Chain A
Amino acid sequence: MGELAERAYLPVKNGLEQVGEMMVLTGKTLLSAVRPPFPYGLEFVQQFYFLLKLCWFPLIVSMVTLSYGAPGLQAGNFLEIFGSLDRLGGFFVLAVIRNFAPFVTAVILAGVGGTAITADLGARKIREELDALQVLGVDPVKNLVVPRFLALMVVTALFNGLAILAGLFGGVLATLTFNAPLGPFFSTLLTNATVTDLWGSLLETAIFGAIIAVVCCYKGMTASGGAEGVGRAVNQAVVISMLAVFAFNYVFTQTLLATHPEISVVK
């Protein structure tokens, strides 16, 4: 019995400790981002550029295929029964702008960008470069974590715009598959879309970026344990960031829908 309690208690304690340490890292990152001096400009630009080059292709492919299949064909078939395929555009506001675009952006940025960041920082950790930086008096949080944090926030929010465009392209493809004209699609899309949807989507993805950055930087900077160390760090980073992002997504969607009833009125 005592052993069983021990086995259940240790992982919980470990998990809570890690959450606490991530919170501390978030606080430190925010503080050193606003407190002068600001040595991270160049690194920010480099990381921004790096993420852009890394993620554009997976993002576009994933978003077009997903929105063609899930909301496009599935909902299109459903609306076709009622002979109201023009409503597909209105549905795409709910499906793509409010849900799938942030979803896919988060998955790609966590799976492609976040893992690259964890692998990079993990490699520096086990080569003891991070310790060397600290010996030289360079703060790793200020010089490595802050630029990645800011770059991921900005890139995730901007990629969300690209994901919305790619998603709408999937919708256009689906409409063409049903041999329907595109005019009604865009007209219901534009009458149903609201500014609230767009800023909600952008704010959501910016926060996603922050979550992914903190989790991935933390896991990279604490990588340890021989040959498997960095790989395991990447594994844990992507699992934790996806779970955290989707849990946050639920809370955010719920709050947005409940506090802005006007956006869920079909026009």
Chain B
Amino acid sequence: MSWVAIPRDLFASFGDIAKFGWRVIAEVLEGSAVRFFGESLRQAGILIVGSALVIWGMAFILGLTCGVNGAYFARSIGAPQIGGSFSALCDLREIMPLAFGYMMSAKVGTGLVAEIGAMRISDEIDALEVMGVSSLAFLCATRLLAAWMVLPFMYIAAVAAGFVGSYISVVQQVGEVSSGGYSLIFWAYQNPPDLLFSTIKGMAMATVIVLVGLYYGYTASGGPVGVGTATAKSMVLNTIVVHFLSMLGTMVFWGANPRAPIGG
């Protein structure tokens, strides 16, 4: 393996992934997934049962971390009462999309590669095509539709889990601000558009992660070992994409306007 193997691989497969992703999105928009709506619902159920708790757990842990840092930072400038402002900005705008992206790529993205890759190498996808069922619609479009149906709600619940974590660490654990004082500052530093922007950020990440997972699974080859390698590869791309989209979202939504309740 050479030093530039990873960047070269990524650039080489970027066009393929974009093309594949666009085809899957087109299948969903054309309504092919609706023909298999039962399958979409089943996939949505699998997503909720299998991944919700892990994602919320991750959000909760990172909320705790955010809160601890915010509380000590606020104390260090001699104003422990404003711990809420740090955790509001940190949780909602940056860390929750990241936590969601990390756990989506770890749990859902690699899970999709493993599942669909196994179907590919045991020739189940070819069998589908032989039977006259479009595998792209039945396997890929249904999963993307399921993700779009479930994930906005799961994301907002994850943000709530992060908020609870921050509250616990700032108010209960470090304990230098009263519950009411914390809430006053915490809610002053955010408003509904912020939540909307944050959700858009999370959903953009989720869509790309699902498409990347589907692509690496759909094109897997080389036996069970090949599925393992493809799963590992999907994580390389996903980690980069998550950070990149996080930066892009911050630039677009908050780059020119901090939206803080300070000044005129």
Interface positions of A (Cβ within 8 A of B): 50, 53-54, 56-58, 61-63, 65-66, 68-70, 73-74, 77-78, 80-82, 94, 98-99, 104, 107-108, 111-112, 115-116, 118-119, 122-123, 126-127, 223, 226-235, 238-239, 242-243, 246-247, 249-250, 253-254, 257, 264-266
Contact = CB atoms under 8 A, between A and B. Distances in A.
Nearest to B229: A119
B12 interface: no
Contact of B224 (A63, A111, A126): A126
Nearest to A54: B6
B204 to A, nearest CB: 14
Contacts of A94: 69, 73
Given A65-B246, A238-B110, 6 more contacts: A57-B7, A61-B244, A70-B246, A77-B258, A107-B239, A232-B111
B44 interface: no
**Residue of B106, B107, B117, B230 contacting most chain A CB atoms (<10 Å):** B106
A191 B169 CA distance: 28
A231 B117 contact: yes
B161 to A, nearest CB: 13
Q: Shortest 5 CB-CB distances between A and B: which pairs?
A: A231-B114, A230-B228, A69-B247, A77-B258, A115-B232
Contacts of B58: 242-243, 246
A73 B64 contact: no
A119 B231 contact: yes
Contact of B106 (A68, A238, A254): A238
B61 A62 contact: no
Question: Majority SS of interface residues in chain B?
Answer: helix
A247 B99 CA distance: 13
A118 B239 CA distance: 17
A80 B258 contact: yes
Contacts of B106: 111, 235, 238-239, 242
Interface stretch (B18-26, B127-135, B144-152, B248-256): B248-256
Contacts of A247: 61
A207 to B, nearest CB: 16
Contacts of A246: 58, 61-62, 65
B224 A230 contact: yes
B228 A104 contact: no
A265 B75 CA distance: 8
10 contacts: A61-B243, A69-B247, A70-B250, A78-B260, A111-B236, A126-B225, A230-B228, A235-B106, A246-B61, A266-B77
A111 B237 CA distance: 10
B61 A235 contact: no
B118 A235 contact: no
B137 interface: no
B263 A81 contact: yes
Q: Which of A54, A63, A107 has the most CB of B within 10 A?
A: A107
Given A81-B260, A118-B228, A234-B232, A253 B107 contact: no
Contacts of B242: 62
Most chain B CB neighbours (cut-off 10 Å) among A58, A80, A81, A235: A235
B219 interface: no
Given A80-B258, A242-B58, A253-B68, A228 B225 contact: no
Contacts of B140: none
